[in-house]
Structure 1
Amino acid sequence: MRTLYPEIEPFDTGLLDVGEGQQIYWEISGNPAGKPALFLHGGPGGGTSPFNRQFFDPDAYRIVLLDQRGCGRSVPHVAEIDSPDGLATNTTDRLIADIEAVRTHLGIERWLVFGGSWGSTLALAYAQQHPTRVTELVLRGVFLLRRKEIDWYYNGGAGNVFPELWEHFVAPVPIGERDGDFVESYHRLLYDADLEVRIAAAVAWSTWEGATSSLLPRPERIAETADPRFALAFARIENHYFRHGGFLAEGQLLRNIAAMAHIPGVIVQGRYDIVCPATSAWELHKAWPGSQLDIVDDAGHASNEPGIVDRLITATDTFRSETS
């Protein structure tokens, strides 16, 4: 099985001012003359990690990572904002505009786009708005951001698989609100006047995903998602997007597939993905003529599970010699 490429460091980094008080962190690693590839992180609000560079052959690719608005090394960081108004300019269309601003700034004409979980959502939305800028798509753990997907994960469906972890997730929500929409309840908690209430809610939200993403438990991932600064940005941005349906019309990404139908792509999906169940990947594959679907039978949602890594790197290796 294929494993991650060796660790590498970026050879160029920067903060790009995109207006509205936002500066987007970007970095480039790999081969300066290689095929451009963009990595889109999940969440939204997750930020990039150094190992994200390792999904690409560094001799073949010019690897671009960016941190989406409000998280990672982009500024301002949402953990430092105490009002929902601070996220008013954080929308899917603006993220797409930020991607285009970074592409233009770096002088890239077209690039392979790689995204997992929310990154797959954003990659699809970007490709549908700017199909001439995308050479190929590599997607993992497909999330189409439909209401049924949000309800499955945040309103009880996934709790049937992880009842003990679900109990931790619902614990910050007052008992009288537990028959309602947990996304709405968490919105209030994440901006509570009491800092301890905000942090407790953010950590419960963030560790719910950290604990349920892998096929087998990974305590180190739970610890990472429990970091208060990470958790507050992650929870607030996710909650903001999910309350607004990702700023997409219901079912939009499937309805608009014709705009990108010609783009070749690989979908890698864990069979036992509880965060983003395989039905969304299946529906996307059936609607998208240019796609190949690889279901990994011994994997969940996480990008670093062995079978997922193998299929993702097989995909990027396959596309590395294609002209851009």
Structure 2
Amino acid sequence: MDETVVTEDGVRLWACRAGQGVPVVFCHGGPGLWDTLDDVAALLAGGAAVHRWDQRGCGRSQRCGPYSVGRSVADLDAVRRHFGLDGMVLLGHSWGAQLALRYALDHPRRVRGLVYVAGTGIDPDAPWHDDYSRDLRARLGDHLERWAELKNRERTPAEDRELSVLQWSADFTGDRALEQAERMATPWLGVNFACNAAINAENAREWGSPELRARCATLEVPVLIVDGDRDIRPRWAVDSLERALPRVTRVVLAGAGHLPWTEDPDGFREAVSAFLAQVSPATQAPRG
């Protein structure tokens, strides 16, 4: 059942809850997209109480700023309060992995564990983005010319969707990549480009700082990093995060792309389910 979370500044966020078990709150990718993690929720059915939400200005949530990392962290806490969660596991994908990490750094006592899926680490943005841009163009193949033509001009809403489907197809592997991207874009809820630009600009200024690395080094929350080894975002960018975290496990799924549960659902479910069992209240030692 759909629910409405009202933030302290009065913005309405779409949310829903399903399942029983360890409370897990999803943080979808973007910035500026909406929750497309239906398949992840289905994979965890039976072992987790999954809480999903659309971030501020995105999807089914009210299209209203301001847009910032700090505001996103506060909105995530509003979701936690709405569902009455004293402690939760966070599962973040891509940009959502960064958001979940930032929340865990700000509120570690509210987080039982963090599942960091296909994030981009804590290094500065520019080095990995050069490799990403090269890999994106290579993966687009025959669709590169149309993608570049759409990207470099003003577009209609239908063309926004076409551009997104082409770009998202590079996040999958195999012959069904375009079909899988079409499924991800259905229903089409529109990209919030203003949100995307604002948060990406903030991350470009602040991500990669020595202060961020030092905060990660003191984070006592258990973390599971899940990668696909065929993600067009270079996986070496996550190495610095893995090195900084004191309680971390990393699983790399062979043959999987940026949405690793798509190409290896069994491997993804096995890794995440084992982690949830490890951090569930029944098995987790009390934290002083």
TM-score (norm 1): 0.74
The one of 245, 257, 261 equivalent to 1:300 is 257
Equivalent in the alignment of 1:172: 150
C-alpha displacement at 1:256, in angstroms?
Answer: 2.8
Specify whether residues 201 and 146 from structure 1 end up closer, same or farther in structure 2 by C-alpha distance, changes over 3 A only.
Answer: farther
Deviates more, 1:41-50 or 1:107-116: 41-50
C-alpha displacement at 1:117, in angstroms?
Answer: 1.1
The one of 26, 30, 38 equivalent to 2:19 is 30
C-alpha displacement at 1:241, in angstroms?
Answer: 2.8
Deviates more, 1:108-117 or 1:310-319: 310-319
SS at 1:95 equivalent:
helix
Deviations 1:252-286 (A, max 9, x none): 454431242x2212111111111x22112323212
> Given residue 120 of structure 1, which amino acid in structure 2 is its aligned partner?
A
> Given residue 281 of structure 1, which amino acid in structure 2 is its aligned partner?
V
Alignment of 1:157-306 (within 5 A): 158-172=136-150, 189=153, 197-199=155-157, 202-203=160-161, 205-217=163-175, 218-224=177-183, 229-230=188-189, 232-233=190-191, 235-242=193-200, 244-246=201-203, 249-252=206-209, 253-260=212-219, 262-274=220-232, 276-306=233-263
> Given residue 7 of structure 2, which amino acid in structure 1 is its aligned partner?
V
Across the aligned residues of Structure 1 and Structure 2, the Cα RMSD in angstroms comes to: 2.7
Distance 1:134 1:226 in 2: 31
Distance 2:136 2:151 in 1: 17
Distance 2:214 2:150 in 1: 37
Distance 1:148 1:233 in 2: 26
Mapped pair 1:111 → 2:88: yes
Deviations 1:92-122 (A, max 9, x none): 1111101111111221111111111112111
SS at 2:191 equivalent:
helix
Q: How many pairs align?
A: 274
Deviations 1:24-52 (A, max 9, x none): 11111112xx3211111112233224333
C-alpha displacement at 1:136, in angstroms?
Answer: 0.9
Equivalent in the alignment of 1:186: none
Distance 2:148 2:158 in 1: 11
Mapped pair 1:51 → 2:39: yes
Distance 1:254 1:216 in 2: 36
Distance 1:116 1:48 in 2: 10
C-alpha displacement at 1:53, in angstroms?
Answer: 1.6
> Given residue 131 of structure 1, which amino acid in structure 2 is its aligned partner?
P
C-alpha displacement at 1:68, in angstroms?
Answer: 0.7
Specify whether residues 219 and 169 from structure 1 end up closer, same or farther in structure 2 by C-alpha distance, changes over 3 A only.
Answer: closer
Distance 1:151 1:18 in 2: 37
> Given residue 181 of structure 2, which amino acid in structure 1 is its aligned partner?
I
Alignment of 1:110-129 (within 5 A): 110-129=87-106
C-alpha displacement at 1:249, in angstroms?
Answer: 0.4
> Given residue 209 of structure 1, which amino acid in structure 2 is its aligned partner?
Q
> Given residue 170 of structure 2, which amino acid in structure 1 is its aligned partner?
T
> Given residue 71 of structure 2, which amino acid in structure 1 is its aligned partner?
R
Distance 2:71 2:204 in 1: 10
Mapped pair 1:139 → 2:116: yes
Distance 2:97 2:75 in 1: 16
Does the aligned pair in 2 maintain the 1:165–1:211 contact within 8 Å? Answer: no
Gaps of 5+ in 1: 1-11, 77-85, 175-188
Does the aligned pair in 2 maintain the 1:135–1:263 contact within 8 Å? Answer: yes
Gaps of 5+ in 2: 282-288
Does the aligned pair in 2 maintain the 1:35–1:61 contact within 8 Å? Answer: yes
Identity of aligned residues (%): 25
> Given residue 216 of structure 2, which amino acid in structure 1 is its aligned partner?
I
Does the aligned pair in 1 maintain the 2:140–2:167 contact within 8 Å? Answer: no
C-alpha displacement at 1:320, in angstroms?
Answer: 3.5
Specify whether residues 27 and 41 from structure 1 end up closer, same or farther in structure 2 by C-alpha distance, changes over 3 A only.
Answer: same
Does the aligned pair in 1 maintain the 2:68–2:202 contact within 8 Å? Answer: no
